[in-house]
Amino acid sequence: MPPGDRANEKATAPRVATAALVPVQLPPMSKEPEPLDDPRRGDVDEWGRSERMREVARRVYAPLYERWFRVEWEGLEKIPTDGGALIIANHAGAVPSDAPAIMHGIETELGRPVYGLADQFFKGAPFIGTMWARNGGVVAHPDNAYRLLREQNQLVLVFPEGSKGTGKTYNERYRLRRFGRGGFVEIAMRAGVPIVPIAVIGAEESMPILFKVPALAKALGIPYFPITANMLALGPLGAAVYFPAKFKLRVLDPVTFPDVDPDQPRYSRSRIMDESEAIRQRIQEQLYDMLRHRRSVWFG
């Protein structure tokens, strides 16, 4: 067929209707394909977490958990044993001591992994970033949280206060900061998982910040540069050694959103802020209640 005819035929042929480059909705995968050969050597998962590394870390951390902080849980049974859940807690200590305690406690008691969402600062830092990732640290990106919670049904730990919580000085202890912009509520709604709040006491006293040096923080590119009581008492060793404050953790009743559908493109901002504030209030009240009953910082 000469090219000319072909061109005419093309021009009269029905045109393929295509949306430009806007992602089209495609049908879900109809069949599960055969699993491919996957010659892996290590056990580092797609988030960078290694169960073997966690095993070692848990063994190293256990004496600290049991003898030093003498961690005591209340209401651990409220944490779901299966399905995704977003665990949130108040955040404290210059180098936060609450995150490892919560992750260790849940992993040993419930036997399921916990992924801790944190600022991208950790991923960017050499050595620390790799250790952090191998131990279950994941960059706090909404897509990451959604995939973990909705698609992989994992437990995810996040501190909504972020570095505002750990960066507060000792005179402001146990006073919760703003819970970000309520992003954790939005993620839980989108993923259709419950939020499990935890109130933690003890972490504030394990490494209290006396004052901060903003110039140094800026020069080093870190969120804050603290001068802690530990540093004054122990010198440079104080950057790594916690005071043996007694840790108490209280798991509060999970918050669910039965009236909200998951996978919506947008959620009501006012609803998100209301829920976020309500959860913050509950944790704050529980903290006051726990402090009311605490006789000693060191012995509980």
Shortest gap between Cβ of 122 and another protein (angstroms)?
8
Q: What does the chain come to in residues?
A: 300
- Regarding 265 and contact with another protein (CB under 8 A), the answer is no
- The only residue of 12, 19, 111, 259 in contact with another protein, by rule CB under 8 A: 19
**Total residues binding another protein (CB under 8 A):** 50
- The only residue of 12, 15, 111, 171 in contact with another protein, by rule CB under 8 A: 15
- Regarding 40 and contact with another protein (CB under 8 A), the answer is yes
- Regarding 32 and contact with another protein (CB under 8 A), the answer is no
Strands 85-89, 195-201: pairing is parallel
Q: Write the binding mask 208 to 247 for another protein: x where contact by CB under 8 A, - elsewhere.
A: ----------------------------------------
For residue 207, which of 155, 178, 249, 247 has the smallest C-alpha distance?
247
- Regarding 3 and contact with another protein (CB under 8 A), the answer is yes
Shortest gap between Cβ of 241 and another protein (angstroms)?
23
- Regarding 103 and contact with another protein (CB under 8 A), the answer is no
Q: Which of residues 106-145 bind another protein (CB under 8 A)?
A: 120-121, 123-130, 138-139, 141-144
149's CB contacts (< 8 A; 6+ apart) are 84, 85, 86, 156, 187, 188, 191, 193
- Regarding 39 and contact with another protein (CB under 8 A), the answer is yes
- The only residue of 58, 107, 136, 147 in contact with another protein, by rule CB under 8 A: 147
Residue whose CB is less far from another protein, 39 or 258? 39
- The only residue of 12, 20, 270, 295 in contact with another protein, by rule CB under 8 A: 20
- The only residue of 46, 82, 215, 221 in contact with another protein, by rule CB under 8 A: 46
* Radius of gyration of the CA atoms of the chain, in A: 24
Shortest gap between Cβ of 16 and another protein (angstroms)?
5
For another protein, the binding residues (CB under 8 A) are: 1, 3-4, 6-7, 10-11, 15-24, 26-29, 33, 36-42, 44, 46-48, 120-121, 123-130, 138-139, 141-144, 147
